[in-house]
Structure 1
């Protein structure tokens, strides 16, 4: 599918204005004594300096750098272009160009070369380079030095601890008290003794606490108290 050609009014206007300005600069250079290809080179020189100054101005603004030099050369190129357009509007007799205008036209190449060179080599805003990271060999040495320098000094001993008074000894730990066994009724002790005698008669061995607890159906603590009574 063929693409449709879209005409941009702004672009058309820029082309027309550039062509007219280019022709006016050529006519002025030719009237000032510049013939042949030299008359055609003057419009190119003026327009290139104007564009270069504008681009440099935008870059310096973005970087936050000074823009006075870019503004100066932009004003010089704009004055040359605007002056040529006004001079060819009938205010100047192109058949009898004054000497000062011929001198300006003849000196323009050197001025444009100087402006273009300064614009290209103007210093911009440079971001400072980050500091290099310490090497692996220097890191342990620096750490060791820092640890030695930051080592805390021993605190002075108070005068109270320098006295010759004996330090009281800590009391010895007391043994844990034996668990208190619950009281056992006499009837339960008598019944348990019968169970123990029966077990000894059948097995030939004294009854143990677990068997006594199972035979009597009592808690473990109460069985311990009964076994103590039977011992």
Structure 2
């Protein structure tokens, strides 16, 4: 309840001022439109269009302040729309005022009051945007991207070689390659020679057979010693 009460006390005067200014400008604009041929609901529609245009432009300015949107040029589109709406309101107020200095001053008061209310709301929106982007006391202690990556533990791989000989390869090294391995190596070597028109290398044979380079070299040695059919 305390927060709601503080919010009402904070924004209440500005809202009341904006409503009074809108009602005053609505009366002046509708009277001017009625005087120049826009009768009945048409005069009200002209006044509502101008007032809602100002309100919409003011809200868009506040949204730009909150989101930190950068404008391209000296004046943003919402600011231009708001300025045009206030100029139209001020012109209607002066046109329907009593032709005297005080008549013009009092007639221009609603438009000026609305402009003041909008500037107050825009100032608050700008202050909230600056506060939300202000660095906190703990921002300096947050790790950067490189530190965050360095802090991740990398699992250690097994240092054993990927081409360590298995039981079959160990037996082949001790007693010579088995006939099955020789037949498989011979078929791979023949297929490679038929496809590429050149002998297969030891590294490629080791990769194709998934064996160690030493065993592949031994197999190639036995294949080269075989008599040509």
Same fold (TM over 0.5): no
Q: Which has the higher contact order (CA 8 A, sep 6+)?
A: 2
Q: TM-score, normalised by structure 1?
A: 0.34
Q: Which has the higher helix share?
A: 2
Of the two, which has the highest radius of gyration? 1
